[in-house]
Amino acid sequence: MNKLTSKQQNIPQIFLAKGKMQSSQAHKEIIQGGGDISLITVKRSLSYLLGISYVQPFEDGNKRTARLMANGLLMSHSLAPLSYRSIDEEEYRSAMLAFYEINSIIPIKKIFIEQYKFASENYAAK
């Protein structure tokens, strides 16, 4: 097993081995026809948003990069990108802070779902 760097030791387990297991399970569901590719893609998009924001691999622009990566994944599967333009900045920051400090995805997941519904209704190809 590889040793984790000090920064990786603080990463919630969802982004380490367990995340790989979930990805593998999602892949099996797609191949076996039991999984909904759109739902799996949306879940992965949320994981990109949270994972990149949390790990902060760059000196600056990590949350912007995370939003771009998450939207890139959605768009690569012909799903509407999220704009976050109808969300209050303070609410978004508080939701991300809840994830960083107490590992709760509930607030950001709520925002993500609301924004995905908004994007699907307003930006998706018809």
Q: Average pLDDT of 76-90?
A: 89
**Does residue 28 register a pLDDT over 70?**
no
Q: Considering the domain boundaries, does residue 6 fall inside one?
A: no
Instruction: Let me know if residue 101 belongs to a domain.
Output: yes
Mean pLDDT in residue range 39-56: 91
CA gap 85, 87 in Å, rounded: 6
Q: Examine residue 70 and state whether it is found in any structural domain, yes or no.
A: yes
Query: Does any domain span residue 8?
Result: no
**Is residue 111 one of the residues assigned to a domain?**
yes
Domain extent at residue 79: 27-122
Q: Looking at residue 46, what is its pLDDT?
A: 93
pLDDT of residue 122: 83
**Count: domains in the chain:** 1
CATH code of residue 56: 1.10.3290.10
The pTM for the full model equals 0.68
21 belongs to a structural domain: no
Are the C-beta atoms of 62 and 56 separated by less than 8 Å?
A: yes
